[in-house]
Amino acid sequence: MCGIFAVFNYQDDIHAFRRRALLLSKRLRHRGPDWSGCKISGNNILCHERLAIVGVDSGAQPLTNEDETIILAVNGEIYNHKPLRKQLRPDTHFKTQSDCEVILHLYSEIGKDVVNHLDGMFSFVLLDTNRNRFIAARDPIGITSLYQGWSSSSPNTVYFSSELKALNEECDKIILFPPGHIYDSLTGETRRYYKPSWWDEEVIPKNPINYTYLRESLENAVRKRLMSDVPYGVLLSGGLDSSLIASIATREAAKLAATQNGFDEDRGVTTWQKLHSFSIGLPGSPDLMAARTVAEFLDTIHHEYTFTLQEGLDAVHDVIHHLETYDVTTIRASTPMYLLSRKIKAMGVKMVLSGEGSDEILGGYLYFHAAPSAADFHKETVSRVKKLHTADCLRANKSTMAWGLEARVPFLDKTFLDVAMSIDPEEKVFREGRMEKYILRKAFDVSTTGDVRPYLPESVLWRQKEQFSDGVGYSWIDTLKETSEQHVTDEQFANAANRWSKDTPTTKEGYWYREQFESWFPEEACTDSVERWIPRADWGCPEDPSGRAQTVHNAAI
């Protein structure tokens, strides 16, 4: 992943603006510490901060075609770039080994329909100088981050950035660019290109469960995400999702290590002799103990880190700066992930696999126990997947990229999504003898796979859902609540609606985060770009988003 900043149709001296643009792009350098690039054409400027994962020696951006009539800046990874290269005209000339360059050449052949051919996570901006056209696009679910902005002083100028912090001083209107959409300056429209069959939440799927298909689609998703020219690892919380990803990755790494020099030409993958796994928690936390069990079972090279409550509290202010949100559950979970990412990057690792998305797809959060019906259950999964870019994708992307570490999320693979989201929700709902994410657990159970070598220990495969912010240690959330009580007086909280009439905080913890967010981003346009997750009160769920707040959590202890 990387950082992109671009301004199109600038109304003043673009060359005089170059220094300002470079300073704004520099605010994204944590996303791409390996190299910086800048291209000007006409009254347009594209800047790029690079994190080199594939094509390390030759993939500096912005990328251009041979006559430099097309300029491209990308934040992301294109997993099917090798097959796409083979589909291009035989005389296509590639300047780099970057997986992203294929976008440029594919656009020159088929135009903006390029987005429908990409398999990966990406945000990109592209300038076609021959047509005086620029387009911007974001991956289907919003794994990568992208913002779009405008200034009322120059309404025909359009800004794009990977993060809010490069736009807040320039734009008085800023939006989160919607996932699965493409913007075209020729029409001025932003339209949805990602249209899977399950997107309409009113249409309830009826497909029966096929455990083999579910398992193999996830295995394929992990396999393609091992594309890397640099050392990688897995984030291992010890929960079902991260443990399954680690198990599959371990098997794939072993296959790869058995090949000549540990390299797969077709997939562009290199590997260490053993997979490295990483976990974090307060001393003695549930996640640390479970992760240790998984690591021993999988025989990974395991790295276990602990943090103190004070270290976590000290990091919150910076975490909010990187996250660019005041959402309570996102901040709670992001802080340990932010601390762990720094440790991982210090080891020289640039890419990790992570387990985000499974709970939204399969209804794994404990509050799903309260769903009134299978239809309601399904509608909520669709809604949660659609909002992932405001929550867990935002967390995974920005917590890791704060330190120049890239997180890849196999559960959000397009094929796996199509398989899992098209299953009859009656197969997913809770009932006697079926816990949350039963079908995923069953798909990897030896009774289904027939494999003599289990994917995971039984104690982990059938471990109850523990949200990351709980699993790192129950006292973490408790301490955040207690600290907010010290920072926010009763009088301040009583007047919260007067201070923030829009999106008023409903807890002191929320108030405390909102206050810190505004210290970084005081502009109203920044607040407009934030979306909070609010628990389903209509299902009888408590206001606190913690998994421990759900009665089913305590009932299972």
Q: What letter does residue 436 receive in the DSSP assignment?
A: T
Q: What letter does residue 209 receive in the DSSP assignment?
A: P
Q: Is 354 annotated as a binding residue?
A: yes
CA distance 533 to 546: 12
Backbone φ and ψ for 444, nearest 5 degrees, come out as -110, 15
Q: Find out whether the peptide bond into 208 is cis, omega within 30 degrees of 0.
A: no
Residue 114 token pair: 């390029």
What is the end-to-end Cα distance of the chain in Å, rounded? Answer: 40
Strands (E), 96-171: 120-128, 133-138, 147-151, 154-161
Sheet strand arrangement including 147-151: 35-41, 44-50, 3-8, 154-161, 147-151, 173-176
Helix %, strand %, coil % for the chain, to 5?
45, 20, 40
Backbone φ and ψ for 10, nearest 5 degrees, come out as -65, 135
Residue given tokens 């605010």 in the structure block: 27
N residues, the chain? 557
Strands (E), 153-290: 154-161, 173-176, 181-184, 189-192, 232-235, 263-264, 269-270, 276-281
Nearest of 467, 435, 555 to residue 287 by alpha carbon: 467
Q: Is 235 annotated as a binding residue?
A: yes
Strands (E), 350-421: 351-353, 406-408
Q: Is 152 annotated as a binding residue?
A: no
Q: Is 280 annotated as a binding residue?
A: yes
Burial class (CB in 10 A: 0-12, 13-18, 19+), 243: buried
CA distance 115 to 298: 37
What is the amino acid identity at position 225? R
Q: Are 457 and 297 in contact (CB under 8 A)?
A: yes
CA distance 250 to 277: 10
Backbone φ and ψ for 171, nearest 5 degrees, come out as -120, 140
Q: Is 450 annotated as a binding residue?
A: no
CA distance 477 to 480: 5
What is the amino acid identity at position 240? L
Please pick, among 2, 100, 171, 393, the residue that the annotation labels catalytic. 2
CA distance 404 to 350: 7
Going 52 to 53 to 56 to 60, the CA torsion angle's sign is negative
38 is catalytic: no
Residue numbers belonging to the annotated binding site for ATP:
235, 280, 354-355
What positions carry a catalytic annotation?
2
**What residues form the annotated binding site?**
99, 235, 280, 354-355
Binding residues for L-glutamine: 99
